[in-house]
Amino acid sequence: MTFPFRIQDVVDISIIAFISYHVINLVRGTRTAQMLIGFLIVLATYLASQYFELHTLNWLLSNFLASIILVIVVIFQNDIRRALTQVGAGRSFSAQERVAQGQVLEEIVRSAVLLASKRIGALIVFERDVNLNEYIEVGTRLESRVSRELLQSVFLSTSPIHDGAVIIQQGRITAAGCFLPLTVNPNVSKTLGTRHRAAIGLTEETDAVVVVVSEEEGKISLVREGRIIRDLDAGTLRNTLQQLFAV
């Protein structure tokens, strides 16, 4: 018996392909990808235990897989939250908002270049859809407009809050001296310092974008979704930020 190929089948396959593509992009290069590989190995072992009639192993794995949904929600809660916020993202900006956003990004770019030229380390975080208040609470409230002069003074070694991150919300510096979670991804290069590891750690858990200035090398990096782009010049940094924030 043959079944006719319907237009609904095309739509069905397209939706599954679309979801699969975005899930792969979301987890590629992160701890989640490694965990998914581990789950696939467990599933393959379970099927093998059934085939070869390894009853004790099969019983253990069947009990584990029975609660797999709960395990996935617990382990991947940050990735699920990030994925859901990305689905709801993409609001349009007015012309006035775009100008203001463009001015903020330009100040950040010039600040990063200035700090890099002076070998002053910096960690500048852009909040997007996922709220960063839990990190702001442990920092020092500033509630100030973004300016090169303020950023330079914050990150000078003589400043009491130079070791933490500056967090920008809605085009304003909300807080400085904020401490971020360090990545525990074993694939991250051992040559990266604490600032870079903190930037990767935050972007693994949220959809934030982070600009990092290396104190040792005087180079600028951009981090998002747990991935780092290193050694950026002013033009590349500016263009990347403008694309990310649709300016």
Give residue 1's pLDDT.
53
Report the C-alpha gap between 228 and 203 in whole angstroms: 10
CA-CA distance, 44 to 38, in Å (whole number)? 10
pLDDT of residue 246: 77
Domain ranges across the chain: 7-75, 95-244
The fraction of the chain above a pLDDT of 70, given in percent, is: 81
Q: What is the mean pLDDT of the chain?
A: 84
pLDDT in tens, 33-60: 667 777 788 888 989 988 888 888 888 8
Q: What is the DSSP letter of 181?
A: P
3-class secondary-structure state, position 77: helix
| Averaged pLDDT for residues 180-206 | 91
CA nearest 191: which of 219, 164, 150, 153? 219
Q: How much is the average pLDDT of 219-240?
A: 94
- Give yes or no for residue 168 having a pLDDT over 70: yes
Over 90: is that where the pLDDT of 23 sits?
Answer: no
Lowest-confidence region among 73-87, 128-142, 171-185, 199-213 = 73-87
Question: What's residue 200's pLDDT?
Answer: 95
Name the band, by pLDDT with cuts 50, 70 and 90, for residue 120. Answer: very high
Instruction: Give dist(CA 147, CA 110) in Å, integer.
Output: 9
Q: Would you identify the CATH topology of the domain 95-244?
A: YojJ-like (1 (3.40.1700)
Residue type, 76: F
Burial of 203 (0-12, 13-18, 19+ CB in 10 A): buried
- pLDDT of 203 higher than 80: yes
116 or 62, which is more confident?
A: 116
